[in-house]
Structure 1
């Protein structure tokens, strides 16, 4: 697979990583054995960067990873996160004590003594990022984490953070229907030697070969609360999505492959982070790392899905509380 640096001076990893949120039912029921098979096949196909969080399934994603890491730890660049509490009255906690407790719990759940890349999952607005960086640097000095990552932050936050210590990666949602990183985060990452890890590059499944049907979203499916899937916006979005899917089909490719290829073509410091529990979906995602889109194809994609084409914001009110707004 195409390889890219995970931050300036960081390890080389596959240009497509594997997210684990889907393994614990975020988009519907998940099967443990199927998820483990997906991990194994992804690893054999060159995916060596696995991403999780302590809040995915309230720790269940990390527990699932533990059984896989027992025999494959030396081949995997492992990432996890902290900073979200799931307490509606105090949803984000970046205090040193909370982060310490979260890190120790993650290490225990995954059965490891070291996490290669450890993210602040959400920045607590009231706490200076400089203080949070000092906590993360202590973890690094202790050998419990290898590198520091930040998630859903503004470019200004990254600039303040790197004044304290190096940041290897920034996670932001980035795809053909969520392009905000182009307004600053992408450039700030490049200027400061950080990888941009683009999560949901297949647009919460909208660029899959079989598009989701919001009417069939089950209990616990995160997308049910996202405005782009509601009864007003989805029919409008579907029109352009079908045109894009037809374009991919005309080129004998899946829309997911084209969507991943588009993300990777935006800059060489971008790593795509799709999540799927099904290997057939991941094969299409990984195909995107093999494609080199022509300028004519890029122009055609831009004509079908220009910046800002999607109807509705990407998050509803509750989920909008954490990501930093900068434009």
Structure 2
């Protein structure tokens, strides 16, 4: 148990150093002051004790919010002397801290929690460890956002054992110096800024849908020639492409079912390429805006059993899909 109390102060300082580089509501401090042993019982009762000594310790804390925080630290509470020996107490504080802001730079607070103690009676050579309740009050003054000082009193109830090594209340009263980083320090009172006029409402953009435009160009049997009639049917599509430079043109060729599947696939691609070539060269539409496909005989729109149906299937479909534009 004694090894733990010897190592803890160093661990608390290392913990504070690790956290100092982050924007967190942490703080670290040191305190020193006087101690007094009271209500002594057990083997120490009735002995002529020197009940006053000095004490101090190190602590770290974390502010959960503006009024509540958690603290842990090592505290040495001194000893009640008897002849050349005494009853010595040290331990670890684990408390909650409740804060009330009186002024922008001045707080009062209360603490309550537990004290994991080690009580050593060198008169009887007995040692006792345990947990005792503790509570305290204090006041804190902030020099700036990073540094504050405290004056405080803390009470430790019945530390030790009535049989061995003895038992006593301990009172601590002293001063603390605290360093904060990222802690919610009291804010100075500032005047509220004058209200700014509400900005005038901005016109909301209107989204307009441009309808799709397309045409179906018929082709003669086994032909990939573009006729004047086909060119006339293309004009609404061409106007759409010229009016909206971001649009794309889709050109899809088809055939009837006469001939082999391979031949018809090639013929459908040739028909689509002829139409795409006209739009690119004669109209001046960039080839990157044209998508060319051949579907062969796979997508008939009429029966291939009649001449009339086969004529409808020999075609090239051209279209610009619908799209939306924003108008202010």
TM over 0.5: no
More helix by share: 1
State TM-score, norm by structure 2: 0.19
TM-score normalized by the length of structure 1: 0.19
Asked which structure has the greater CA Rg, the reply is: 2
